[in-house]
Amino acid sequence: MKIEKSKIEQHNSDLQKEHQRKFDFAVADVPDADELLQKLTDFQVAIPSWALGTGGTRFGRFGGGGEPRNLEEKIEDIGLLHALNKSSGAISLHIPWDIPENASHIKALAAENDLKFDAMNSNTFQDQPDQQYTYKFGSMQNVNKAIRKQAIEHNIEVIKYGIELGSNALTVWLSDGSCFPGQLNFRTAFQNTLESLQEVYTALPDDWKMFVEYKAYEPNFYSTTVGDWGQSLLYATKLGNKAYTLVDLGHHLPNANIEQIVSLLLMEGKLGGFHFNDSKYGDDDLTVGSIKPYQLFLIFSELVEGMDAKGMNHATDLGWMIDASHNVKDPLEDLLQSVETIMVTYAQALLVDRKKLVDAQNNNDVVTAQEILQSTFRTDVRALVAEARLRSGGALNPLSVYRSERVRENLIKERGSKTVATGL
Ligand SMILES: [Mn+2]
């Protein structure tokens, strides 16, 4: 399904008067509005191919119907989102769920939908039907060399698919670890993992990046071999300058100070990618900003400050992706909400008065520092984000067009009510 441009234009013209009033109010306090709007226009958040179907839990899965049946339909779904919000211009593929049988056809389809290929994701956290060895006791950490070799070769195969499509990054998330004390030797597991990653790193093209993603726990519950940012940074440092740490919001122990983590990783030039989601208890994969929007703002504020300190390009120097999916919402509506929150929070982070904040810090003026951050967080910037979208040809209110065009109903009609997209 495609949304006709005229429908978006009609929607925008219906809302134009109301939007203009809100925009005029919001823009009055913005020192350099054109620069801000350009940054918002440039900022794109990749959508992972596994977020397009209904997410499941270990207890069950409640499909919503009309889910994409293949890679082509996944690209079409993200194309729909991008047509509406103009901020979802990239897709992140997962191998083996999305093996491109015909790369040039897939590339052409992505280009038609104005989508780029973001980081490629490998999978050694599941066994595939045709694979020789099991990953039950880990992949790259495994005590069995043949199993490690199988995991290495899989990652190299993922890089090859990525080269064909024009991606330039590999994200390695390992579920390796242990469930019980004594199950493995921590240092041996680390060394095996490092050596395996080194072999993959050797196969990485010069203009590629490797993102080493960490996760505190789950599926292993006693130890995780890439368990936190310290361990990830160790691997990335030992691997070389194409290797970076990837921060996923949901992959921390409760109350971790993620804003401090991103700040220090940026200082070291070792933050490579960022996965958005939200959580109440653990790796809950909830909609971005649905639980802790102020924390998201504080993290974004550090991201912007840390990138600016290094002269980095916000839009292109880090890999930005949503990593969430769950079972009670239409996945596409959920993604529209997540992207909207990301854009709003990014806009707020851009509006923090850095000079005043530094002055407050240098004077130990704690109250003023808090006032600066909280008053920016409480500023309604939604009309600024909508204006950036309007200027790019998107919809003033993407969710409203999605509903009025009855997208889900149409997808169910096209694909059926029982289709199941690959994913977790
Ligand atoms: Mn992730």
Alpha helices in 86-144 (DSSP H): 103-112
Position 57 scores a pLDDT of 84
Residue 208 C-alpha to ligand 1 middle, in angstroms?
19
Q: Tell me the three state secondary structure of residue 251.
A: coil
How many whole angstroms from 343 Cα to the centroid of ligand 1? 19
Q: How far is 169 from 272, CA to CA, in rounded Å?
A: 10
Q: Look at the block and give the residue holding tokens 């939908």.
A: 113
Q: How many whole angstroms separate alpha carbon 300 and alpha carbon 308?
A: 12
91 three-class SS:
strand
* Residue 276 CA to ligand 1 centre (angstroms): 8
Ligand 1 centroid–CA 258 distance in Å is 14
What's residue 420's pLDDT?
85
> In whole angstroms, what is the distance from residue 406 CA to residue 17 CA?
25
In sequence order, what DSSP letters do the residues of 254-288 get, joined into one string?
Answer: TT--HHHHHHHHHHTT-EEEEEE-B-SSSS--BPT
Give the distance (Å) from ligand 1 centre to CA of residue 323: 5
Contacts of 35 (CB under 8 A, 6+ apart): none
**pLDDT at residue 376, as a whole number:** 98
Measure 355 CA to ligand 1 centroid, in angstroms: 34
The DSSP bridge partners found for residue 320 are: 274
Ligand 1 mean position, distance from CA 275 (Å)? 5
Cα(248)–Cα(240) distance, integer angstroms:
21
The pLDDT assigned to 293 comes to 98
Distance 213 CA to ligand 1 centre (A): 7
Per DSSP, the three-state class of 46 is strand
- CA dist., res. 339 & res. 347, Å (int): 12
> 236: CA distance to ligand 1 center in Å?
17
Q: What is the pLDDT, as a whole number, of residue 31? A: 93
Ligand 1 geometric centre to CA of 144 (Å): 27
Residue with tokens 């200027």: 391
Pair 277, 288: CB distance under 8 Å = yes
Using a CB cutoff of 8 Å and minimum separation of 24, what contacts does 100-106 make? 100/71, 100/161, 100/164, 100/165, 103/161, 103/164, 103/165, 106/71, 106/72, 106/75, 106/165
C-alpha of residue 364 to centroid of ligand 1, in Å: 37
- Cα of 112 vs centre of ligand 1, distance in Å, is 27
pLDDT at site 327:
87
Name the stretches of the chain with pLDDT < 70: 424
Q: pTM value?
A: 0.98
> What's the pLDDT at 322?
98
3 state SS for 325-376: CCCCCCHHHHHHHHHHHHHHHHHHHHHCCHHHHHHHHHCCCHHHHHHHHHHH
CA of 91 to the centre of ligand 1 (A): 14
What local confidence, expressed as pLDDT, does residue 60 receive? Answer: 87
For residue 119, the model assigns a pLDDT of: 98
